[in-house]
């Protein structure tokens, strides 16, 4: 099935076309119609199956671009995955004006990330440890967050983040 059947915005379709992505993978065919309607899902699929776009597309479609507020949190187990997902978001959203994505990860200055968050980000991709740092220092609020993704939740649990999550 092609993405055009989902009635996505032209800007989002341009982002997919730029990546030469035209048809949905099986996990996208199952997940996207539900998530685009606001349903919560749990999806399991192998690496390379298109899971990331299964949550990135609905986030990009629903984020209020005119509000520079933290609206979606994607929690991931590692810095590398956070950077990878942020890159996918930026590439997919290239034709959507004013979308701001921020990564909150260890190994980078907390003060700089705090400043970036205060300037406004629509989508935050973060590791549990860094989010806990922000919570512990009362540097983050979740009152404007309407979407939460736990990507590779099984790995986060294996890494000991059960209570934190």
Please count the CA atoms within 13 angstroms of the CA of 159 that sit on its side-chain side: 14
| Per-residue model confidence (pLDDT) at position 164 | 72
**At 15, is the secondary structure helix, strand, or coil?**
helix
Q: For 89-111, b where at least 16 C-beta lie within 10 A, e where not — what string?
A: beebbebbeebbbbbbbeeeeee
Tallying the residues shown for the chain, one arrives at 165
pTM for the full predicted model: 0.92
**Digit-coded pLDDT (tens) for 6-16:** 999 999 999 99
pLDDT: is 67 or 60 the higher one?
A: 60
């Amino acid at each position: 099935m092609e993405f055009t059947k989902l009635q996505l915005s032209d800007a989002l379709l341009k982002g997919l076309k730029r990546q030469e992505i035209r048809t949905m993978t099986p996990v996208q065919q199952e997940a996207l119609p539900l998530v685009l309607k606001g349903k919560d899902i749990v999806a399991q699929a192998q690496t390379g199956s298109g899971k990331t776009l299964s949550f990135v597309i609905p986030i990009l479609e629903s984020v209020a671009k005119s509000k520079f507020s933290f609206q979606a949190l994607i929690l991931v187990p590692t810095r590398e995955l956070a950077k990878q997902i942020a890159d996918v978001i930026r590439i997919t959203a290239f034709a959507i004006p004013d979308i701001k994505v921020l990564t909150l990860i260890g190994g980078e200055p907390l003060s700089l990330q705090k400043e970036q968050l205060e300037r406004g980000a629509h989508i935050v991709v973060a590791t549990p440890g860094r989010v806990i740092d922000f919570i512990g220092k009362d540097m983050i609020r979740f009152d404007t967050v309407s979407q939460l993704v736990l990507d590779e939740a099984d790995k986060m649990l294996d890494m000991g983040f059960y209570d934190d999550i």
